[in-house]
Chain A
Amino acid sequence: MSHPHALASLEASFVDAFEAHAGLLAKNGTGPAEALPFAMAPALRRQALNRFRDLGVPSRKNEAWKYTNIPEALAAGFAVSPAAPPSDALPARWRDCLLPGLNAHVVALVNGRFSSAHSMIGDLPEGVAICGLETAATTCPDILRRHLGRYADWETESLTALNTAFARDGLFVYVPKGTVLEKPIYALHLSTTNERLFLQPRHLLVFEENAQARIVERYCGLEGEATFTNAVTEIFVGERAVVETYLVQDPGDEHSVVSTTQAYQEAASTFSTATITLDGKVVRNNLNVLPNAPHCETHLYGLFLPAGDTQVDNRTLVDHAKPDCVSNELYKGVLNDRASGVFNGKVFVRQDAQRINAFQENKTIVLNNEATMNAKPELEIYADDVKCSHGATTGQLDPEALFYLRSRGMSKRQAQGLLLHAFAGDILERISIEPLREMLDERVTRLFGG
């Protein structure tokens, strides 16, 4: 599939799909085209498509995609449509994707489209909006105009350009100035389809000055054919806002995901995010944070536990553009069977960004010699008064620790489970949403025992 003709025909299939649906994409929602927000305007879509055409589907010749073969993941062929209407009938199993005991604003998207039938949003504080992006184009056009398409880099990232060309619906969250959302938002991204689908949800999360909120996004695959999701999320964190987000990926082993998140932070804001990957076929997460004002705090956590043939590729960038900020990053992984993992974490400190504290660490345990890990932590520092550190370790479980536990009567599996649980616990214990932590804890137990 790395054959140039094959790549070209893959690209052409996206362009053809765009032309076939151009009319539909231009008529977004109910409003006239000129009222559409920036990223949904027909001219912008066309521009984004042209960018995609120039950049092409990322191939492994591209250093940033060296370990994740997108053309191969797409080779099976996926129907590209600008998002089919949501289906009200879902396999009963969808309820398993809810979190028992979680008191939250539940918002469901099915195949990338907001589904009111499966959402339980409940009462919201004054001014807060939680809905589909398409709805928001009508109900909150100013917010969309101000933020949508302003942060995610569609000019140089081909898949972001592709998403921008097709973007129609997705998750929209708006928490206005000074508003504290007490209950977390639980956004459930479900997929169920009879044909292989290429999904391109577009999410916009806006937290204004002094707002506080927590969001769990969970990608859950139901019965049906395989999907390839190319999701783009833009997050705006206003001055002194405190935002916590979780991305939980357990789409199922047939489903591939490229998730691109761009967070933009204003002064003295705090943005914490955890990316937790449990399964999938090919999973690539691009997480970019731009603390674009002084006194920002940024926390990036990751936990990836792939088994089977799952590939997980985490690429992160913290771009310290302004002084007096702190960022802290910890990614941990356990690879089993023939799984592969990638961690490519970059911390960039620009020349004027003095007094930055930036820490980054990646630790991976490889349980099997068929599993592979590639870790590449990168620090690029152009300021002189900074405190930065980074490190990556990949190895096996400590044989001394295993022996110690076994010498007390625990089986090999039990000892392994206890140690892996402790290893993952380092991330799990930072999860402030109890039912989520419990669910993940159970998953870890199911995976490893302990």
Chain B
Amino acid sequence: MALLQINNLHARIEEQNILKGVDLTVGAGEVHAIMGPNGSGKSTFAAVLAGREEFEVTEGGVLYEGGDLLDMEPDERALEGVFLAFQYPVELPGVSMNNFLRQALNQQREHRGEEPLSAGAFLKRMRECAALVSLDPQLMSRSVNDGFSGGEKKRNEIFQLAMLEPRLAILDETDSGLDIDALRIVADGVNALRRSDRSFVVITHYQRLLNYIVPDVVHVMADGRIVRSGDKSLALELEEKGYDWLREEAVAA
């Protein structure tokens, strides 16, 4: 059975239809890339999967591990192993990284019937995960994303991914705004986290990232639908031709 099975998903916000029938199936351990022009609905798609309430699902459904994902609260989804790396990570002044992660992690452990981590074990785990994306451990005593550089914010998302060990990780343009060195660090981090029981949906605007995180399948989203799927060569084709031809296709369809 597929980890994630999305059928004819429609979603809207404020009377505006944004997702107009997304179909997507992701198997365990697979990496799917979703590419597409700005405004095509990629972030909306990610947010709907993570449970953002502002978006209303009007049609279609999502099965996650065979259960109805859309029926679950955002925190339930997280506890069941769904993780979203935000395109724009939120700054939380006054909420320390340390406290934030300890609460999140212990919540997840409790859900799995595990004891909370000891202070020592937590610290060790935090250092290891921070090292994975070369994140300065000093940041752990600072407020979440508050005053972090753009690159630090993105690496912080992957760091949290490493800490929380989800089964489905959705990365929303984690590459945008990163220089080539930072991109490599992030990609290496993600690659190190690939496992046979962990799937990735990697949303990106550029093909560049996919040189490092090699996807099993590439999908192209345009105007709220997946208009084409293929292997990694599709990404290269897009890089060459741009997105304009897709728009024409989407309109024609």
Contact = CB atoms under 8 A, between A and B. Distances in A.
A403 B92 contact: no
Interface residues of B, number: 30
Interface stretch (A91-99, A117-125, A404-412): A404-412
Nearest to A423: B94
A411 B75 contact: yes
A126 B208 CA distance: 75
Nearest to B47: A403
Contact of B104 (A399, A403, A408, A425): A408
Interface string B30-65: 000000000000000000001111100000000000
Contacts, number: 75
A422 interface: yes
A258 B58 CA distance: 54
B73 A409 contact: no
A63 interface: no
A403 B103 contact: no
A414 interface: yes
A426 B146 CA distance: 14
Q: Which residue of B75, B79, B86 has the most chain A CB atoms within 10 A of its CB atom?
A: B75
B99 A407 contact: no
A129 interface: no
B199 interface: no
A221 to B, nearest CB: 31
Contacts of B78: 406-409
B215 interface: no
Contact of B92 (A406, A411, A412, A422): A422
Nearest to A411: B75
A392 interface: no
Contacts of B111: 409
B95 A403 contact: no
Closest 8 CB pairs of A and B: A422-B94, A409-B78, A408-B104, A404-B90, A406-B74, A406-B75, A409-B107, A422-B95
29 contacts: A398-B90, A403-B52, A403-B53, A403-B90, A404-B89, A404-B92, A405-B104, A406-B73, A406-B78, A407-B51, A407-B75, A408-B78, A408-B100, A408-B104, A408-B107, A408-B164, A409-B75, A409-B78, A409-B111, A409-B164, A410-B75, A410-B103, A411-B107, A412-B75, A421-B95, A422-B92, A422-B93, A422-B94, A422-B95
Interface of A: 398-401, 403-412, 414-415, 418-419, 421-423, 425-426
